[in-house]
Structure 1
Amino acid sequence: MQNIKDYFTLQDDVVNLIEGLNSGMNEQLIAGMTNTARQILISSLHESTNRPVLYVTHNLSQAQKVYDELLAITDRDDVYLYPVNELLAAETETASPELKAQRLEVWENWQESDQGILVAPVSALKRVLPPVGQNNQTSLDFKKDEVYPFEETIEQLVNMGYKLADMVTSPGEMSRRGGIIDIYPLTENFPIRMEWFDDELESVRYFDADNQRSREELDHVSIGPVDEFLLTHEQMERGAERLKELLAKSLNKLKKAEDQEKLRESISYDIEQMEQGEHFPGMIKYLSLIYDDVHSLVDYMSEETMVVFDEISRVSETAEQLDREEANWYTDMLETQSIVNGLTLSFDWATVLQKMTHQKVYFSLFLRHIPYTKPENIINISSRQMQTFHGQMPMLKGEIERWRQSNYSVVICAADDERMDRIVNVLDDYGMLAHKVKQNTPLEAEEPLVVKGQISQGFEIPTFKLAVLTEEELFKKRKPKKQKKRQKLSNAERIKSYQELKTGDYVVHINHGIGKYLGIETLEVNDLHKDYMVISYSGNDKLYVPVEQIDQVQKYVGSEGKEPKLYRLGGSEWKKVKSRVKSSVEDIADDLIKLYAEREASKGYAFSEDTEMQRDFEAAFPYEETEDQLRCIEEIKADMEKERPMDRLLCGDVGYGKTEVAIRAAFKAIIDNKQAAVLVPTTILAQQHFETFQERFQDFGVNIGLLSRFATPKQQKDTLDKLKKGLIDIVIGTHRVLSNDVKFKDLGLLIVDEEQRFGVKHKEKIKQLKANVDVLTLTATPIPRTLHMSMVGVRDLSVIETPPENRFPIQTYVLEYNPAFIREAIERELARGGQVFFLYNRVDLIEKVAAEIDALVEDARINYAHGQMNERQLEGVMFDFLEGNFDVLVSTTIIETGVDIPNVNTLIVYDADRMGLSQLYQLRGRVGRSNRLAYAYFTYQQNKVLSEVAEKRLEAIKEFTELGSGFKIAMRDLSIRGAGNLLGTEQHGFIDSVGFDMYSKMLNDAIQAKKKGKTYEEVKPFEVEMSLDLDAYIPSDYITDETQKIEMYKQIQAVENESDIYDIKDELIDRFGEYPQEVEDLLQVSRIRLSAKKERVETIDERQKKIELIMEAEESQKVDGAELFTLANEYGRMVQLATEGKKLKITLQFQRHNRHERYDLLEDFLSKLKQTKNHVINE
């Protein structure tokens, strides 16, 4: 891109602009320039004048686009985005963390260099900030091998806003263990682990939040604060005093006692928090009380900063609109006694402009009078957006010849060397000579030049004699935008939390049933310590489970909100339940294996391998595929190319590109002259798929038919005729496709979307169709990994877990319901031409709520929908909404899961605290389906104290703003639904009766046994009973957190080989520091157990300096007597041999050996037992 920027700076108009800046002109206007050309110009100015730039846009969405463009053009790290929500009300409430993380990055870096480009929406200039110099935004720098007092460091980090947690998984958390501090700064991609020896910092390293293991060593690190405004206790106390004064004045003005009480209630919590020095969401409202003076972002810009306005008239109009909205909102808040009078919440536009004494450059597409501006220099640089050639090379050739005759420089941008070569070759094939050139080559060649660089769109500037094209204009192929390395604020796998065991959780013991986990207790018997899991059962009975039997206990995971029933210890009820579930999973295992075997044996049609045409079709996809998509496509094609009929389930979140995968499968079928049918559960979905397929296949001569209520009887008859004659390649429809009058000439592929939503009769018909055609079933309900793994070899599953590029995370807010705020949120969405989902989950009052919103937002067109409407009514409302016939849909949770309404980008949920996590997650997935920034507002009743569960639920949804968390977040509820869909809904009850994990384990055991043609008893894992006089446990002063201690016990229990044990040693040292002797002993016990398992030794028992080993009968028969005596002789009189029935009994007698020498000898003896056997059986 550098050569294009250099070319810009040589043009007379740009020279004129730079001279204006150098001579001190205050305001200059550039007219006629389009988007990408603007960003290239600003980047050129920034480099040639070496001055910082503040680039102002009219809203956040445009700021994001400009920022992405500049990031690609400059190829430097000093481009920043300062994102602020346009809704003042949202900014003053609790918000999702991405925007804050990006602002913190600006505070951390901008003040140091002050030479970069800062992109900000105009709303950011209006926000109130602490006075320059009082922002307390200091970072702490740490260098390896330097001295930093440990306790003092912890205190400093807590003062910077970090919250102490048992384990660090989210940005903003820290934890301490011994001499180790783990911390997760908001501006880092990974959390950081720092290890001290006394007060010296010995090691600094990144670690992985998922598995808590270290990644890479660092020499130094800079840790910034968690909050944008770090306030001292004194400042907050001063703010509290001033707030009390304002409250008193506001109360005096209120006449009614209930109004006074309401205001007092609204404000007293805030005063309390400030007096205690606690940061809280919404504290930003009181900055004007905490400081004597407040500043704006403009005050933070140095004098030589150049302020650039992107489309100045739109910026001004938006700013004035925001002035009005903010004033109205404040008035509404005062009238509803939600706020006190006398706060400065934002600056009006006139004040911001008054503060702006910097040199300004305005962009305007048209030359016209623009309020607030007095340009001293007007420069007209007319540019136009490049046309799209859609791969029509002769048309491109003609255009290039026209440009060359007019002495243009023609430049084509490509993302990397490979794509540059491809462009040169394609042009060459059509007789156009093009040169691949380096970044610094001047643009003076006769032929087109291909340069490395990424811009969003091409352009032509006649006065510069320049034409710039991108791959998108040439081939309609979009490359993902370049992004600054940004952390995934998806909260690691805190989602593990669905499996993590905490005190008070329900658990299932394989032999005793469901109880409540009370924690770990360390008991001391005969001077030996042992850890036990304590589980309470019905009637307050307690069960102590030694930690080496931890694998017999699973966390109980049932449907959300269901409390399981506790069993009695020693009762017979659990045995009955378990036996019912066992026979059910065995039936399922039988069915699955039988079905699979039948399919393996049946003959279908083997599709031919990919053709050139298939490759062209796939290359025409305008986006970059995700790795998951590519993998799924390969798996499906491999299935189609086999003789047996395909029956594959494709699983992936809404909007993750399942449709494109299905489209490619359909095309593969059509190329072999077969027909494809796409079956969907609703008429609207059929219509949407029909339009998507038509658009995707338009250049490939594929005929597509629609069978649904939206097609007239005449159209349907025509479709049926053509299907029979083979004149239609793909038919898309509802269950109408399953009717008896639908006859295909040669059906080769059936694609079923969300099969679980069809009725029993329709499912039977699908089953008949499945017999000899290839079937691909799509679902958005996640299939849990545990289930996925146990299905290998009995059900073909493909999973898409990664979201497509260029989708913004949904900005999620959790706040009290406030009509003034709701009005502002709806008006803001309508102002950008969008629509709104308003979720209200009570059918009896939904009309009333719709009427209230109608009254609240006068210009909005409102309608409502709920599950008690008949199918046609509901369909009509949804279709009207899809067509944009009204703006706000007030609906219960029946909002169509699969329906894609890209224009809906604001979701408001009423009483969100009363909904399940999976419900909230799926609802939120209905917005953010386009490249626009989407907002989700989860509201709860004013002054309502949330239950702990509801609070956690809302906290989780707020933290999981990162795309793609769907697979993990709603694991609990959705897993069970997914399992029901996969195995039959009647399984739901069975799953709830034993818990999801136990159910998965039982199903897996049954499938593995049936595959081998044995009973479960025959294939169940071999266990060793051990009793050794070793103090082997994890002391509480080594790992203090019980959840993490249980996790470590689980890992130690699950070791399968020596390298697993080394791995655990590394992890222990990495996460918790050097371990004590007791943990060393625990690992030795694990090693001994491992060796005993290999040699099928079923009992190891230690009594008074003797250790007795008993080997399993079958294994004992394999021991060669002579070899065993030879081995025994190596140990002198220490080894005694005997038999117990058919079992070999070996006794090791110790005389002068200490405890640890005994166990080393035992390990040594077990490792040599192998050589005494006739032949070794590999497990």
Structure 2
Amino acid sequence: MGLIRSARPTIVAALAADLKRPLLVVTGPIEQAKALAHSTRDWSVVPGQVVRFPEPLALFYERVPWSDEVVAARLGILSQIHTGSGSPVIVASARALMQRTVPVHQFRSATRDFSTGQTIDLKSTLTRWTGLGYEPVSVVVGQGQFSHRGGILDIFPPAASGPVRFELFGSKIDSLRRFDPATQRSLERVESISVGPAREALPLHGPRFSKLVEAQLENGRPDDERAELENHLRGLEGAAPFPGLEFYLPYFHSETAMLLDYLPADALVILEDEQELADTWAGLEQEALELREAAEKAGMLPAGYPLPYVTWDEWLEQLTDRQVVSLGHGQTDGASALSDCYTPAPHFGGQLKPLLSHMATAQSEGGNVVVVSQQAKRLAELWSAEEEEQQLPPVLDDLSEPSRSRLVLGQGSLAEGWTLRGLDLGEGPATVHLLTDAEIFGWQRPQPRRPIHRRRMAPESYFADLTPGDFVVHIEYGIGIFDGLVTRAPESAEREYLLVQYGGSDRLYVPIHQADRLSRYVGADDSVPHLSRLGSADWQSVKARTKQAVEEVARELLELYAARELAVGHAFGADTEWQAELEAAFPYFETEDQVKAIAEVKADMERPKPMDRLICGDVGYGKTEVALRAAFKAVMDGKQVAVLVPTTVLAQQHFATFGRRLAHFPAELEMLSRFRSRSEQRAILEKLAIGQIDIIIGTHRLLQNDVAFADLGLLIIDEEQRFGVTHKERLKQMRTEVDVLTLTATPIPRTLYMALTGVRDISTIETPPEERLPVSTYVGTYDEQLVRRALLRELERGGQAFYVHNRVRTIETVRRKLERLIPEASIAVGHGQMRENELEKVML
């Protein structure tokens, strides 16, 4: 068709609505698949119709485990196609399609329906579920798990919307109920449930291929790899799931399948851009060949390892009997004239007059103008001020309602606009001009992710169970080393004791009933503590000094917080309309904890008592967005905001984030760090003192005596624990009458204690954002091919990577080595000895 990229989601959604049959939309790069899926959802008339078939994070020929989320999403889509439910629009990248999967006939034979009143063999059912890849657990909380307790069976199939509980009466299914994995409470009854595979590589085939791993172990492997292979061997022999099972998928099936094999014959295949797809596929095949060669050379592949991916020739052969449409530049027959109808929309870069002129011209020529913006209400205000005589239509919150007006102004989000000529609206050919934030303001808002209801897991214990070798503290005898449980019989009756080793080979036997007098040692750093000696006065001296220091700190805190309690701060007003627009422009859905934290911060700010709130949440959980909304609320009330961060890099990061989010609002933003020259710093300080800067982001430079504010209303401190004693003394002076918001992922014990005892307010953000993967840490000997695979995996998903080296003197040598190792990557070097302007260029 030769369609412009911005029009492709519109056409895909229109085809889905008109054809009412499954559509497979294929892109080249992974990021393009994500963007197209998000944009197509905006145009789809059926909620949940557009789904993305994800790709594994592992490269071909890697033993890296697939994430549970990816496995569940892929199997859910295969199951939906297999059962013929609905007419999904499936968006997949080249990498996702290349991955071979379980054959259709085996997927069908592995899927079994259960219904009320049915008789089952419990033992064979449990064995079967394990062989299908389900993980046996004590409590089911996630997809791909099952549990058995007496006459209760719980299971969570990947294709199901939630887990289901089997209540058995003997061998008969007495009832089937859905249940809440967070509370484990049963919900509504269901008559039947379909249980299909929980993994694409079915563990039931494992025992036949365990000898392959035995052969590798016999050849001798490094210790870390040997431990992994032994774990794989146990899983294969036991026909049970294990991390990395998908590596053996090509062995398990004599004939594997691809996603296209699951689709019905009438499904339409849409190539987003055929040439881009061919180039991406070729690049992935070449990368796979290199990875295989390196793996075989290192002895990491079992003998005769089958091809784990679908080749380009196989893909083209599969398309011969399919209906295929190419939206971009391709060789598909029957090219459509649609490419002549759609043209890119003009861009205005935030300039109102050219925008209004374009819209007026479009309407005078008989065209229809549709404006979809997150800033629709603000745009209407500006428009009314500029064009007083023109009557504007009301801003629509629901864009699905039809409108006969030649001018439609809607509140919403679309990725890009276009101009469509020759559309028949019942009154002859017409032109439609679609304008979005990308064209009006010059910025493109990421498409919102779908809201999901995450399970609220019980918080983890602060301390795990003690193990021998841990440092412990006895309240009376001091620091020692826990040496396990021992049994003694001092008075003829055997009793259990906790054995603690002290300095000088001293030993202390603590009776079990006095275990509460022991606690895990928690130091300020990772240094090894000095062991106490039994019978000496050392520990009593330590306790006395500690008591004195605590009393001094308590006195300071009492004075500070008494002053804050008596101080009358500024009571901020209610949210403005601009505040609502800023929050509506947030590109993601807020988590439950984020919403709660934002509400608590706003409530504190609207009281006359100065706020002192701690926001505690893991990295990437959305603390910065909470701070940004608080900062904007303060600015809307005419107050200045100081954002204090411990490092220059973090200051630059916050400056970029705040700048991007506040770009279209009247808030003056500046940064004070070593990235600013002395003359620039002087100019910034002058503007700050007279109130020309609303938000200042800076490092410890903000704490120096020459920094003065015209009207400081809010102090935001990121990672307070990383500031020194001198810095904190200055902070105490700043915070008596201004609102203070502290952000941290790891609060120091004193800060946490003050929050837990009510001296400071605390908000916790425990719910991770959608699609946030857990941090995985791998430790091993240096291996260039391992480094290459790790970096390639990150590049494939469109991400960035840091390679940390510990010597500035030899860092350029490392750079040259990386350039030879991974020529596909663009590599930059940054270190602390570089000039500020050079480091800034690297960072930006």
TM-score for the superposition, normalised by structure 1: 0.58
Q: Given the alignment of the two structures, is residue 65 of structure 1 paired with residue 35 of structure 2, yes or no?
A: yes
Match of 1:481 among 448, 454, 462: 448
Q: 1:509 to 1:357 in 2, by over 3 A?
A: farther
Match of 1:42 among 8, 12, 19: 12
Contact 2:560/2:732 (8 A) holds in 1: no
Q: Given the alignment of the two structures, is residue 346 of structure 1 paired with residue 312 of structure 2, yes or no?
A: no
**2 CA distance for matches of 1:700 and 1:119?**
36
Aligned twin of 1:379: 337
| Cα-to-partner distance string for 1:148-179 (whole Å, 9 max, x where unaligned) | 34334323322322333344444433333222
Q: CA deviation at 1:309?
A: 0.6
Q: Given the alignment of the two structures, is residue 760 of structure 1 paired with residue 722 of structure 2, yes or no?
A: no
Q: 1:716 to 1:185 in 2, by over 3 A?
A: same
Aligned twin of 2:504: none
Task: Give runs of aligned pairs for residues 574-593 of structure 1, distance below 5 A.
Answer: 591-593=556-558
**2 CA distance for matches of 1:706 and 1:453?**
32
Q: CA deviation at 1:703?
A: 4.4
**2 CA distance for matches of 1:351 and 1:763?**
65
**2 CA distance for matches of 1:217 and 1:582?**
60
Match of 1:447 among 384, 406, 412: 406
Match of 1:174 among 131, 134, 146: 146
Match of 2:71 among 100, 106, 118: 100
Task: Give runs of aligned pairs for residues 663-674 of structure 1, distance below 5 A.
Answer: 663-667=628-632, 669-670=634-635, 674=639
Residue identity matched to 1:609: G
**1 CA distance for matches of 2:221 and 2:474?**
56
Q: CA deviation at 1:356?
A: 2.3
| Cα-to-partner distance string for 1:698-747 (whole Å, 9 max, x where unaligned) | 55555445443322232233334444444444444333333333344454
Matched residue of 1:182: which SS?
Answer: strand
Aligned twin of 2:256: 294
**2 CA distance for matches of 1:352 and 1:281?**
29
Please say which structure displays the higher CA radius of gyration.
Answer: 1
Q: 1:591 to 1:199 in 2, by over 3 A?
A: farther
Q: 1:842 to 1:46 in 2, by over 3 A?
A: same
Aligned twin of 1:159: 131
Q: Given the alignment of the two structures, is residue 124 of structure 1 paired with residue 83 of structure 2, yes or no?
A: no
Residue identity matched to 1:881: V
Contact 1:389/1:473 (8 A) holds in 2: yes
Q: 1:290 to 1:159 in 2, by over 3 A?
A: closer
Matched residue of 1:835: which SS?
Answer: coil
Residue segments in structure 2 that go unaligned for 5+ positions in a row: 424-430, 488-493, 501-506
**1 CA distance for matches of 2:270 and 2:701?**
58
Identity of aligned residues (%): 33
RMSD between aligned alpha carbons? Answer: 5.2
Contact 1:263/1:338 (8 A) holds in 2: no
Task: Give runs of aligned pairs for residues 509-658 of structure 1, distance below 5 A.
Answer: 536-538=498-500, 541=509, 543-545=511-513, 556=520, 558=522, 591-603=556-568, 605-607=569-571, 609-610=573-574, 612=576, 615=579, 618=582, 621-623=585-587, 626=590, 628-629=593-594, 631-640=596-605, 642-658=607-623
Q: CA deviation at 1:350?
A: 1.6
Contact 2:4/2:328 (8 A) holds in 1: yes
Residue identity matched to 1:314: E
Q: Given the alignment of the two structures, is residue 467 of structure 1 paired with residue 467 of structure 2, yes or no?
A: no
| Cα-to-partner distance string for 1:935-957 (whole Å, 9 max, x where unaligned) | xxxxxxxxxxxxxxxxxxxxxxx
| Cα-to-partner distance string for 1:1137-1178 (whole Å, 9 max, x where unaligned) | xxxxxxxxxxxxxxxxxxxxxxxxxxxxxxxxxxxxxxxxxx
Residue identity matched to 1:741: D
**2 CA distance for matches of 1:331 and 1:822?**
16
**2 CA distance for matches of 1:260 and 1:112?**
46
Residue identity matched to 1:679: L
Matched residue of 1:102: which SS?
Answer: helix
Q: CA deviation at 1:632?
A: 4.4
Q: CA deviation at 1:451?
A: 8.1
Q: 1:339 to 1:400 in 2, by over 3 A?
A: same
Contact 1:82/1:103 (8 A) holds in 2: yes
Residue segments in structure 1 that go unaligned for 5+ positions in a row: 1-29, 252-256, 522-531, 884-1179
Residue identity matched to 2:393: L
Task: Give runs of aligned pairs for residues 909-988 of structure 1, distance below 5 A.
Answer: none
Match of 1:53 among 23, 36, 50: 23
**1 CA distance for matches of 2:682 and 2:589?**
38
| Cα-to-partner distance string for 1:788-812 (whole Å, 9 max, x where unaligned) | 686454123344445667x654795
Aligned twin of 1:994: none
Residue identity matched to 1:38: R
**1 CA distance for matches of 2:522 and 2:50?**
48
**2 CA distance for matches of 1:293 and 1:277?**
20
Q: 1:787 to 1:683 in 2, by over 3 A?
A: closer
**1 CA distance for matches of 2:83 and 2:530?**
60
Q: 1:425 to 1:156 in 2, by over 3 A?
A: farther
Q: CA deviation at 1:431?
A: 1.0
Task: Give runs of aligned pairs for residues 1107-1126 of structure 1, distance below 5 A.
Answer: none
Contact 2:415/2:444 (8 A) holds in 1: no
Higher helix proportion: 1
Q: CA deviation at 1:643?
A: 4.9
**1 CA distance for matches of 2:740 and 2:18?**
61
Q: Given the alignment of the two structures, is residue 357 of structure 1 paired with residue 320 of structure 2, yes or no?
A: yes
Contact 1:502/1:519 (8 A) holds in 2: no
Matched residue of 1:141: which SS?
Answer: strand
| Cα-to-partner distance string for 1:120-171 (whole Å, 9 max, x where unaligned) | 2112332233444134663343334543343343233223223333444444
Q: Given the alignment of the two structures, is residue 718 of structure 1 paired with residue 683 of structure 2, yes or no?
A: yes
Task: Give runs of aligned pairs for residues 180-199 of structure 1, distance below 5 A.
Answer: 180-188=152-160, 190-199=162-171
**1 CA distance for matches of 2:21 and 2:45?**
14
Contact 1:128/1:294 (8 A) holds in 2: yes
Task: Give runs of aligned pairs for residues 730-769 of structure 1, distance below 5 A.
Answer: 730-769=695-734
Q: CA deviation at 1:329?
A: 1.0
Q: 1:809 to 1:231 in 2, by over 3 A?
A: closer
How many aligned residue pairs are there?
811
TM-score for the superposition, normalised by structure 2: 0.78
Q: 1:162 to 1:502 in 2, by over 3 A?
A: farther
**2 CA distance for matches of 1:173 and 1:819?**
37
**2 CA distance for matches of 1:280 and 1:49?**
42
Residue identity matched to 2:460: K
Match of 1:113 among 71, 84, 102: 84
**2 CA distance for matches of 1:666 and 1:39?**
36
Residue identity matched to 1:99: V
Residue identity matched to 2:762: L
Contact 2:266/2:323 (8 A) holds in 1: no
Q: Given the alignment of the two structures, is residue 325 of structure 1 paired with residue 287 of structure 2, yes or no?
A: yes
Q: CA deviation at 1:325?
A: 0.8
Aligned twin of 1:230: 202
Q: 1:540 to 1:815 in 2, by over 3 A?
A: closer
**2 CA distance for matches of 1:421 and 1:610?**
18
**1 CA distance for matches of 2:726 and 2:134?**
57
**2 CA distance for matches of 1:581 and 1:609?**
44
